[in-house]
Structures are given as C-alpha cells and as structure tokens.
C-alpha cells in the first residue's frame, strides 16, 4: 500500500504526524528522491495507539517506508498466541519516532506511544540488502520470518497472511526460541505511558 494512502487519510494542518516527504498527491507516482532510511540495519517500531479502539501498530522498515500492521490485541512472545495483524497503509520512515497525541477529529485520533523499537533482519542474514530482498519476497508470498532485536520483542517472529480471508489479514506469531515465554508482554506499558500517569 503506497504512501499516498497515508497522505490522503490525514490533514496535516491539524495533526502533529509527519507529512510524507517525496510523495505526490496521488496524480503521479512517487517522486524518485531517495527517502530517508537506515544505513546498516533495518528498523522496526511498535506503537501503542489509544485510538477509538486500543491497538498496537507494528511497523517494519522496508525500501524506505514502514510496512505497517495494526495488531488489535498486541504482540505476544508466547508461540501459542497467534495474533491477528491487519495490514494498513505504509507509513513514512520517520514515523518510527512519532509519539504524541493525534487530536480529535483526525484519522486515528488518540495518544500514540512508542512501545518497542529496535532493529530487525531476515532469518538467515543480518545484511540489510539481503534482508530487504528476502523480506520483500516474503511480503509478496504472504509468509515473512524475521528476527527482532527490540527492548521487549526479541528473536524470531513470523507474519503469515490468511489464504482465504481478506488479504489484509495476517497472523503475527512468535517462533519457539530462547526468547519465547508464557507471559503477557502486551500488558507491559510503554515507557512514555508510565511517565504520563505520574
């Protein structure tokens, strides 16, 4: 889903969210300017989003944008918990740093906290170019496996697209490894969230 969708859904006069640079109004294709992106390792972020319904947004950097999934119940580190992850529009790379309040009346109104962040790579390589190639292919096939190096989420995860249901519906699954645990990790607050409540 191209960045135009991100742009169209938002009124940048009234939301503090970032405007996607290098993006046209949808009339023509993406401008060829090189977008900001990582230089050595791909980045990921999980934002906890207090929209009309609380959810977590998993965003994986790929090709200069953030591939994005809304995870209604939040990620799990228990391999038995398969979590629905609904693919949403790509977000600009810089959105990985967004934390703040989207005002009432705007798309996704509510508070956004960075719940987890770090680097990630494909299963068999941490080389950024090779990872990108493998992940791109996985995205198309509807079967992506990757290693997250976050503060909360670590180790191998898979995103698997449903075959028959809506193509936007994926499952986020923790693979069995040393970082798998039977804990409710989504119950842990985002750092900024805890600070706000003091």
User: Which residues lie near Mn ion (CB under 5 A)?
Assistant: 49, 57
Using alpha carbons, select from 31, 21, 25, 28 the residue that is nearest to residue 4. Answer: 25
**CB nearer Mn ion, residue 17 or residue 57:** 57
Least distance (Å) between residue 108 CB and Mn ion:
5
**CB nearer Mn ion, residue 57 or residue 81:** 57
Least distance (Å) between residue 55 CB and Mn ion:
6
Whether the CB-CB separation of 76 and 83 falls below 8 Å is answered with yes
**CB nearer Mn ion, residue 113 or residue 147:** 113
Cβ atoms < 10 Å from Cβ of 6: 24
Least distance (Å) between residue 167 CB and Mn ion:
19
Least distance (Å) between residue 101 CB and Mn ion:
13
Cα–chain center distance at 158: 13
The helix (run of H) or strand (run of E) holding residue 135 is: helix 128-141
The span from the CA of 69 to the CA of 35, in Å, is 21
**CB nearer Mn ion, residue 49 or residue 174:** 49
């Amino acid at each position: 889903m191209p960045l135009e969708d991100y742009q169209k859904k938002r009124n940048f006069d009234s939301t503090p969210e970032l405007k996607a640079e290098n993006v046209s109004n949808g009339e023509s294709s993406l401008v060829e300017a090189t977008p900001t992106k990582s230089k050595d390792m791909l980045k990921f972020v999980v934002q906890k989003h207090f929209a009309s319904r609380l959810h977590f947004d998993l965003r994986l950097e790929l090709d200069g944008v953030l591939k994005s999934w809304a995870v209604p119940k939040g990620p799990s580190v228990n391999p038995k918990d398969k979590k629905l992850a609904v693919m949403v529009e790509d977000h600009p790379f810089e959105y990985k740093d967004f934390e703040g309040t989207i005002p009432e009346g705007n798309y996704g109104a509510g508070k956004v906290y960075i719940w987890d962040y770090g680097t990630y790579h494909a299963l068999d390589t941490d080389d950024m170019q090779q990872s990108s190639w493998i992940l791109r292919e996985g995205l198309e096939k509807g079967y992506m496996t990757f290693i997250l190096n976050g503060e909360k989420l670590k180790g191998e995860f898979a995103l698997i697209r449903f075959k028959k249901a809506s193509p936007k519906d994926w499952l986020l699954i923790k693979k069995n490894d040393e970082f798998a645990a039977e804990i409710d990790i989504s119950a842990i607050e985002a750092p900024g969230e805890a600070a706000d409540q003091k």
